Structure 1
Amino acid sequence: MTASHMDLAGPWAFRLDPEDRGLDEGWYAHPLPHSLQLPGSLQAQGYGNDITVDTPWTGDIFDRSWFESPRYAPYRQPGNIKVPFWLQPEKHYVGPAWYQRMVEIPPHWQGQRVRLFLERPHWETRVWLDDVELGAQQSLSTPHCYELGTHLAPGPHRLTIRVDNRLIVNVGPNAHSVSDHTQGNWNGIVGRLALEAASPVWIEEVQVFPNVARRTALVRVHVGNALGRPGTGQIRLQASAYNTPTPHTPPPVAADFVLTGPETVVHLEYPLGEEAQPWDEFSPALYRLAADLTCRLSGAQGEPLTHGFTTSFGLREVAVAGTQLAVNGRRIFLRGTLECCIFPRTGYPPTDVDSWRRIIQICQAHGLNHIRFHSWCPPEAAFVAADELGFYFQVECAAWANQGATIGEGKPLDSWLYAEGERIVAAYGNHPSFLMMAYGNEPAGRHEEYLGTWLTYWKGRDGRRVYTGGAGWPAIPENHYHNIPQPRIQAWGEGLNSRINARPPETRTDYREHVARLQKPIVSHEIGQWCVYPNFQEIEKYTGHLKARNFEIFRDFLVANHMGDQAQDFLMASGKLQALCYKEEIESALRTPGFAGFQLLDLHDFPGQGTALVGVLDAFWDEKGYITAAEFRRFCNSTVPLARMDRRIWHTGETFLADVELAHFGPTPLADAVVSWRLMEADGQTVAQGQMGPLAVPTGGLTPCGTVQVELAAAAPARKYRLVAGVDGTAFENDWEIWVFPQHLETPLPADLHVAEELDEAALDHLAGGGTVLLMPQQPAASVRGDVALGFSSVFWNTAWTNGQPPHTLGILCDPAHPVFAHFPTEYHSNWQWWELIHGAGAMVLDGLPPALRPLIQPIDTWFEARRLGLLFEARVHGGRLMVCSMDLRHDLEKRLVARQMWHSLVVYLGSPAFDPQVEVPADAIRGLFREPPAG
């Protein structure tokens, strides 16, 4: 019999069921009154409820300020509802919805097995054919398929589907499979919708288990029998290689079988031949496997029953190799990002291969080889694209067991996770890109005991991938690898005590103590989380039913504080700092011997959880303008030169030293590799250079190359330099910035300059006489008013969702062409030399000063506050010229070379005619920036 297909895409009758009356009232037996299109979601087609203050979102809201703060009051008004938590749908609906259409069953389908295929419903489906219920399904990850039987009468039939997007099983309201934080809790069906007719004895499933060493594959074929009658048959397999420059076709194999019941499993071993090519990220060779069934039932007359099934696979194995993972015996380093089901144009994931090719190719362009699907599983198209492109996936069973959704305590989620895992592996298990699997994200409950048993089950059930219990935790013995939050350069709760904020910049730290302690592969969980300022030009890109109302709120805040014209500058300056943080984050992982990899949170923005703008790309996977994929790939790639330096700041009496290594995880070793280095000025002029090697560089780890040694006596002082190292004859190159300052520097004070710790009578008298005053408290951080926590790094995740975790700022903005920086090397944004100046500084809140006043050094505030902040500003006060500085430029200047240089540049400026403030500010307004000095 020939298989047949009926596409069900198009108009469907439709009805919402907010009171859940449809089952009791038998809506499946009656025409439904409205119409929409499937595939699609009902919310995107204008159905559902308007957004209100009381909208019952799916997702926890930890920051209650939107509901309570007067600042958000305009956005709680009917007609102007705007929420800051996540992207806002135009309509919202949680509950059952009914979809219905008539189908015409053709006469030639009689006697065939008819199946309904729904590729990606959200969430639970129940199906009726005419008045007969066919059952219910609850997968969030795989197609829902319903058997319509083998005796379906030709002619018209009424097909009714009830879709319910409530928490049918409590997988956790923040799980990205269901949450409004990311895709939105949509209701509908997307992807392929079809009726399919085929033989009543058919191939239900084919699972392929490759053996790389033997160049064979064990093939397990599941044969279904809707008629229940005994019989005999044959399975014939034919594989053909593709996606490779040297395709080949192994000879077919066949096996006879006896049909004894509703399901028969047939095992075949398929030799692929010595020329068979393994699959990995560098050579994604694939095989297309056609399985053909021929069967004759006992006592049956006429032609035998036939059915065909096609799948694809790769000759790929993954295993634990000490503290690393190995693909086909070669140690790999996982350079990953998360995909949190963020699809702002549709509100649901794409089911076409081209969309996923684009995402994966963007990841590869940034040097990544891996995606972790945070608490969800992608559709088939994602695996197809990853297989073709050579990309690794960590897939999760659609759950985040927190906020009441605990595991290991006998709740329905416990058994559902086993069932969902079975469904995922049955649907996608042949894909070589499916490398890793976890239950889901950050579990709660009696999770260690439960996940230990869950892991034991899966390790024995299917050895085609490696398993970990949960992303985040626990680090239990049953894990193949630990997917844990440490190590990283900043974590939740660390604030200003983190390495990047508490310790001067260097490039030597690694995480070998973690590797030695755990003695298992560590794939670090959700590293990064560095924020950038919102790109308000992005608002116009939200052309679907999800809108960036959160961005509109933040834009209003910035405009209200007279800084709307600085939005683009804030984006670019904070972006440069974000990129710097990610570079150090990734290099710290790469320079750790025996480390297994990392997963960024995130390469692109996360629109939920208070708006976490942590991506160098926006939510659409587009660049933002401050770093390109090629620039990112310099420090994130299969091969990366690394430099271990004790510090970034040097003086002309020293010898600059840097140990160079090569992190190499390419397809083959590098023979006779030569590493060239050069030390360059900002204008590109080379001041020193050299070579290391030739070297034998094995793949799968770190190789020391040598030491850069440069005498700095001849270096031009007060300059930024760049150390560049690369592998000759390749594109692998990386660079690091250092700053060289004079060993000795004298800074005489101009005769007219009065330095004051507070704006006292002496300072006012000097100003009144037309003099110059530098106001600079002894302890700036303790002296300024306000609660702005200033740190070097960018904001971590966002201040709303971390309960105000410091720092609250996203770096600094300045104009390097301003004469105050004539003797101080800087760009318009934070760089490593600013660490010393930020440390101990206090951010002055300038909101009460005239709007025309712009600080010379401006910390960029969190977008939730949008305060005008300053570390250095100038003004006309009391008839004179005033400079106000809230950085520590007074103490230990012989040891603090950056502060000494800034002091020098500032003093020279104050003594020059260029110091000519234009904005008049009352003295009391200046005093109001600082706390009252202690009595006595």
Structure 2
Amino acid sequence: MQSKLNLSGTWQLSLGEERKGLPQAFEDTMELPGTTSHARKGRRNEEQLIGSLTDEYKFEGSAWFRKEIEVPADSAERVALLHLERTRITTVWLNGEEIGTRNSLNAPHVYDLTGKLATGTNTLTIRVDNVGYPTKGGHMTSPDTQTNWNGITGAIELQFYGASRLEELRTYPNVGEKNVRITANLEGSTAAKLRVSAASFNGESSHTADSAEFELNGSSIDVTYSLGEAARLWSEWTPELYRLRLELLDANGEAIDTTDSVLGLREFKSAGDKFEINGKRTFLRGKHDGLIFPLTGYAPTDVEEWVRILGISKTYGMNHYRFHTACPPEAAFAAADLLGIYMEPELPFWGTITEPGEENHNQAEQDYLIEEGYAILKAFANHPSCVMFSLGNELWGSRTKIDSILKGYKEFDSRPLYTQGSNNHQWVPELLEHDDFFCGVRFTRERLFRGSYAMCDAPQGHVQVAPPGTLTDYDQAISPARVQTGESEDGGKKQIQIQYGTGMKTVEAEGDGGDWVSPLPVVSHEIGQYATFPNFDEIEKYTGPLKAENFKIFRERLEEKGLGHLASAYFENSGKLAMECYKEELEAALRSRKLAGFQVLDLQDFSGQGTALVGALDAFMDSKGLITEEDWRSFCDNAVLLARFESYNLVGGDMFRAAVELSWFRAEAPGSVEVSWSLRSGEQVLGDGAITANVTASGDLFELGGIELALPNVESMQKAELALSLNGTDVYKNYELWIYPAETTADFGGVHVFEALNDEAKALLAQGGNVLLMPNISDLENSIEGTYAADFWCFPMFRSISESMDRKIPVGTHGLLVRNEHPALKDFPSESHTTYAWWNVVMNSRSVILDGTPSEWEPIVQTIDNFERNHKLGLLFECKTGGGNLLVCAVDAAAAGQTPDGRQFLSSVLNYVRSDAFAPSFEIELEQVEGMIR
């Protein structure tokens, strides 16, 4: 029978920079499992990293761990395996004899010590090297994520077995037949029978299947075990599991070995443009994950912690995890089994797959990566949650070789669905023969199915550049009725520059993707990436080995610019804009009937790659206080109400029309539904009603009905809320709309307006007059372009990439900080953060750089800059200067005035200048103003 000797505890420790044999002495001790960094071993790291967290006790080299272990007499002669759950490159010595080396980053290291252990005291030495990897390791070893730690995490144990045991156990559930095929290799020759039994758990009630016995003949086991007609199915809705017990029996029927395995009876497959689980359509609401754990610097290996982490994601509507160039430990799959999360591990590779003879071909690395894939499948594919597998992130190179790797995996293990990689051949993707689904961001330059893109990957997405409304979906991009394409002069091949990792690369593109339509499910890759300003209160949370030195540097920069007092306001108001961007991004995905799912980047902040604070949650998976989980689920869940309307900005007296839809991916059809709706402005009900429909299916986007009402003629700008509620359920949706008076005009009468501070303007100021300066924004040098959406990912990283590609750098701002009580906005009531009422104003503006001016001079409308530049930016600001009053409005009035919202803003500004309220308190020299507005 199996038994285990737990080797956790205190080990002797020796650290060295270079790999060599056994050390002369062990100068320290350390607790294992753990890492040298977490244990604060080695020299303290004096670095202050800007682009990622700083590992306070970073150590790269060789770490030797030695421990004396006591082996009982009844175990010394048994089959003995040393099991190291998760580590780096290891070399093992037993009693001074070198046993071997293992180098998997993703799977356990197992050493056969059979016949080598002595009864009593044995000395076990393990060297761990976190240098010299066969591959860079992606996010498995990156300082941007879980760090390049050194040590051993998870189970460290000697496993003892009897005369027979099972190896390479696989379970193949069959939902239709309600049985499971079991295959394994039988080690040893004393077993005569296999007894199989199963009992369900993790459900509201339990089910026990009848046990069965199978005669054994030879070293291979291949049997089919029935779970019975009452068998329970595993899915995201009902993650019911079975404890499958496999007992090897001798000729007398006595058990000589027992193996337990968790089984989920499920079938996850591609079916047209969607995925199906047990014959029911599902929509993947995925979270990108890079194994970021700031309190430890490494991924947890206990199920309880992963249940907590995955459970948080589930409360935010997620049902899927894609691990970026990483594979989590076993506990993550076990937790996902319990919660009903669809998992997609990925090879630790982000680069180019080449053929022998090609430039920079590295056959050793390629062989290693392929073997890592087999190791992942052997270790984790029995888990019902392990339903997908990817070859890497944004791969380039030989499609033939990539497909051959896919083919090998599918022949080895047909259970997961496979993809060539996440966003491979980004600008010119195509399906490969052995793909089961496609994951990317575009099919051609213009066929986009994501809402946001980096500036270097322009054209950008609709969330960034299109007027705000809720009509956008990706159906035409995914399955075009007709696409016009051109050919390059050299027969379809052309050189293009692309983002490559965190840099750039010139590649040869064949054609432009044409108008091909994927016959497989399409998943949108890394959607979102809307950044917020840092929350400096978070610094104190970094109590582990990883320190937020980057946050401290960002805070110092802000304070040096005299803007430190605005840090909290920057964080809160940039964050509210980012959440609104995510809302539109995710709703557009749910409005797309041809899309199979998305992988959002990210629900949580990303600690590296320049520091990308793109989450509704911080790096600890704690809420940032920007949105409630209920409101997030209102646009990211298995049931979401959607309203399609042309614009958030409306005119009094016009007709408002909205089509109401229901994205429904729950286990059963909702049947007869009623949606209550109302449009309110404050306490006033502008319209309400109910829409009824009969929805007899699940797994689709359903049209329920429409809303149509005449908007009242209003005398002032009003904010309204369109509220939808699916009666009898937890499903609701709210949209903020704005209604403008029909007669509002941008009346410049009685206002002295100038494009520049010319002699006439100066003379007027000298007489104590009031001047409105509206510079020609195309001529403003000392300024930043206006853009509505939150910065993509993080400014430093994509600024660098754009510069290396000689492309336009990102705008890099985070929306507005609005002094909404200022009388200049009396007729344009606003929140303190950016809302869609500001879209046309901002997109037709530039913000003047006001660096070096006193902190008490606060713009009426200030643009929030990123943490690298920290410019003080004014879109609308005022001062006393030159003897008079000056209001600067860096907006293109002609362009903004084409829309009701733009006219309302201009009207409010002009009314203010004409009023007695125009009396700036801050005074500044005219020459200084001229120096900034040039």
Q: Normalized against structure 2, the TM-score is what?
A: 0.91
2:387 is equivalent to residue 431 of structure 1: no
The one-letter code of the counterpart of 1:129 is: L
2:871: which partner in 1? 867
Q: CA deviation at 1:221?
A: 2.7
Contact 1:407 1:443 in 2 (8 A): no
For structure 1, the residue ranges without an aligned partner over 5 or more in a row are 52-78, 297-301, 932-936
Shift in CA distance, 191/925, structure 1 to aligned 2, threshold 3 Å: same
- Aligned sequence identity (%): 36
Q: Distance in 2 between matches of 1:881 and 1:788?
A: 24
Q: Structure 2: how far apart are the matches of 1:891 and 1:176?
A: 46
Alignment of 1:516-531 (within 5 A): 516=479, 517-531=517-531
- Give the secondary structure class of the aligned counterpart of 1:584: helix
Q: Return the offset for 1:255.
A: 1.2
Identify the residue that residue 75 of structure 1 maps to in structure 2. Answer: none
Unpaired runs of 5+ in structure 2?
443-448, 480-516, 803-808
SS at 1:192 equivalent: strand
User: Counterparts of 1:308 and 1:82 in 2: how far apart (Å)?
Assistant: 52
Aligned equivalents of 2:362 and 2:780: distance in 1?
54
- 1:411 partner letter: Q
Per-residue CA deviations over 1:663-691 (Å, capped at 9, x if unaligned) read 1111011111112221122x354310122
Change (3 A) 1:88 1:817: same
Classify 1:876/1:232 alpha carbon distance in 2 versus 1 (closer, same or farther; 3 Å): closer
Contact 1:176 1:341 in 2 (8 A): yes
Give the residue type in structure 2 aligned to 1:727: L
Check if 1:348 corresponds to 2:298: yes
1:269 to 2:224 alignment: yes
Given that 2:716 and 2:827 are in contact with CA atoms closer than 8 Å, whether structure 1 keeps it comes out as no
Q: Tell me by how many angstroms 1:651 deviates.
A: 0.9
1:904-919 equivalence runs, <5 A? 904-919=907-922
CA distance in 1, matches of 2:457, 2:123: 59
Report the equivalent of 1:876: 880
What is the aligned partner in structure 2 of residue 413 from structure 1? 365
Q: 1:483 aligns with which of 436, 439, 449?
A: 439
Amino acid in the other structure paired with 2:811: P
In structure 2, distance between residues paired with 1:233 and 1:111:
22
Structure-1 residue corresponding to 2:80: 114
Q: CA deviation at 1:318?
A: 1.1
The one-letter code sitting in structure 2 at the alignment partner of 1:194 is E
State the Cα distance separating 1:387 from its structure 2 match: 0.8
Q: Contact 2:163–2:256 at 8 Å: present in 1 too?
A: no
In structure 1, what is the equivalent of residue 334 of structure 2? Answer: 384
Question: Distance in 2 between the 1:543 and 1:580 partners?
Answer: 32
Please give the per-residue CA displacement for 1:419-452, whole angstroms capped at 9, x wherever unaligned.
2222212221111111110112112332x11221
The within-5 A match list for 1:814-833 is 814-833=818-837
User: In structure 1, what residue type is equivalent to 2:156?
Assistant: L
Query: Does the C-alpha gap of structure 1 residues 900 and 518 become closer, same or farther in structure 2, counting only changes over 3 Å?
Result: same
Contact 1:199 1:305 in 2 (8 A): no
Amino acid of the residue matched to residue 4 of structure 1? Answer: S
Amino acid of the structure 1 residue aligned with 2:128: V
When residues 702 and 815 of structure 1 are mapped into structure 2, their CA distance, relative to the original with a 3 A threshold, is same
Deviation at 1:397, TM superposition (A): 2.2
Q: How does 1:922-933 map to 2 (within 5 A)?
A: 922-931=925-934
Choose which of 515, 522, 542 in structure 1 pairs with 2:478.
Answer: 515
* Structure 1 counterpart of 2:907, one-letter code: H
Equivalent position of 2:773 in the other structure: 775
8 A contact 1:594–1:701 mirrored in 2: no
Counterpart code for 1:757: E
Look up the SS of the partner of 2:74 in the other structure: helix
Contact in 1 for aligned 2:653/2:713 (Cα 8 Å): no
Instruction: Give the superposition deviation at 1:185.
Output: 0.3
Counterpart Cα distance in 1 of 2:914 and 2:292: 54
CA shift in 2, pair 1:110/1:828, >3 Å: same
Structure 1 residue 49, shift from structure 2 partner: 4.3
Partner of 2:422: 471
Aligned to 1:726: 725
1:757 alignment counterpart? 755
Residue 409 of structure 2: aligned partner: 458
Q: 1:699 — aligned with what?
A: 698
Could you tell me which residue of structure 1 aligns to residue 211 of structure 2?
252
The one-letter code of the counterpart of 1:243 is N
Counterpart-to-counterpart distance in 2, 1:31 and 1:502: 64
Counterpart-to-counterpart distance in 1, 2:360 and 2:390: 15
Residue in 1 that maps onto 2:234: 279
Matched-pair contact (CA < 8 Å) for 2:353–2:402: no
Residue 34 (structure 1) aligns with: 28
CA contact (8 A) 2:841 2:896 kept: no
**C-alpha distance in 2 between matches for 1:313 and 1:408:** 43
Aligned partners of 2:587, 2:819: CA distance in 1, in Å? 29
Deviations 1:556-597 (A, max 9, x none): 111011111111100111001100110111011110112100
- 1:840 shift after superposition: 2.0
Deviates more, 1:280-289 or 1:109-118: 109-118
Q: Contact between 1:785 and 1:845, CA under 8 Å: does it hold in 2? A: no
Shift of 1:655: 0.6
Separation in structure 1 between the aligned mates of residue 781 and residue 365 of structure 2, nearest angstrom: 50
Q: Per-residue CA shift, 1:349-405, capped at 9, x if unaligned?
A: 001111111111111111111111111111111111111111111111222235999
Letter in 2 for 1:772: N
Alignment CA distance shift 1:735-1:821 (3 Å): same
Aligned partners of 1:407 and 1:469: how far apart in 2?
22
Aligned equivalent of 1:621: 621
Who is 1:799 aligned against? Answer: 795
Q: Is the 8 A contact 1:496 1:806 kept in 2?
A: no
**Secondary structure at the residue paired with 1:918?**
coil
3-state secondary structure, aligned to 1:871: strand
Equivalence for 1:9:
8
Distance 1:851 1:783 in 2: 27
The aligned amino acid for 2:407 is T
Secondary structure at the counterpart of residue 743 of structure 1: coil
Residues in 2 aligned to 1:281 and 1:375: alpha-carbon distance in whole angstroms: 24
The one-letter code sitting in structure 2 at the alignment partner of 1:795 is D
In the alignment, the residues of structure 2 paired with residue 705 and residue 792 of structure 1 have an alpha-carbon distance, to the nearest angstrom, of 32
Instruction: Please list the CA deviations of residues 201-231 of structure 1 after superposition, one character each: whole Å capped at 9, or x if unmatched.
Output: 2122421101101111111132223xxxx44
CA 744–494 in structure 1, closer or farther in 2 if over 3 Å, else same: farther
Is the 1:90–1:547 Cα contact (8 Å) retained in structure 2? yes
Q: Which residue of 2 aligns with 1:289?
A: 244
Q: 1:265 to 1:236 in 2, by over 3 A?
A: same
How far, CA to CA, are the matches of 1:892 and 1:40 in structure 2?
59
Distance 1:222 1:720, change over 3 A: same
Q: Give yes or no for contact 1:171–1:413 (8 Å, CA) kept in 2.
A: no
CA pair 357-669 structure 1, distance change in 2 beyond 3 A: same
Structure-1 separation of matches of 2:325 and 2:264: 26
Secondary structure of the corresponding residue to residue 578 of structure 1: helix
Q: Is the 8 A contact 1:165 1:187 kept in 2?
A: yes
Q: Distance in 2 between matches of 1:568 and 1:574?
A: 10
- What is the rounded CA distance, in whole Å, between the counterparts of 1:127 and 1:275 in structure 2? 48
CA-to-aligned-CA distance 1:466-502 (integer Å, 9 cap, x gap): 1101111154232111111231112132468542333
Alignment correspondent of 2:654: 654
- Quote the residue 1:361 is aligned against: 311
Query: What one-letter code is carried by the residue in structure 1 that aligns with 2:438?
Result: H
Contact 1:408 1:450 in 2 (8 A): no
In the superposition, relative to structure 1, how do residues 167 and 324 fare at CA in structure 2: closer, same or farther (>3 Å)?
farther
Q: C-alpha offsets along residues 856-911 of structure 1, whole Å, 9 cap, x if unaligned?
A: 00000011011100101111102211111101234573x32112111111122223
In structure 1, what is the Cα distance between the partners aligned to 2:71 and 2:783?
70
Give the distance between the partners of 1:853 and 1:772, measured in 2 at CA: 18
Pair 1:215 & 2:167 matched? no
Q: Give deviations 1:60-108, integer Å, cap 9, x for gaps.
A: xxxxxxxxxxxxxxxxxxx6x4221110011222222211111111112
1:766: which partner in 2? 764
In 2, Cα distance between the equivalents of 1:183 and 1:110? Answer: 38
Over aligned residues, Cα RMSD in angstroms?
2.1
Assess if the C-alpha contact under 8 Å between 1:338 and 1:374 holds in 2: yes
Given that residues 783 and 849 in structure 2 are in contact (C-alpha distance below 8 angstroms), is that contact kept between their aligned partners in structure 1? no
Does structure 2 conserve the Cα–Cα contact (< 8 Å) formed by 1:784 and 1:843?
A: no
Q: Distance in 2 between matches of 1:670 and 1:735?
A: 21
Q: Per the alignment, in what secondary structure is the counterpart of residue 413 of structure 1?
A: helix
1:767 aligns to what SS in structure 2?
helix
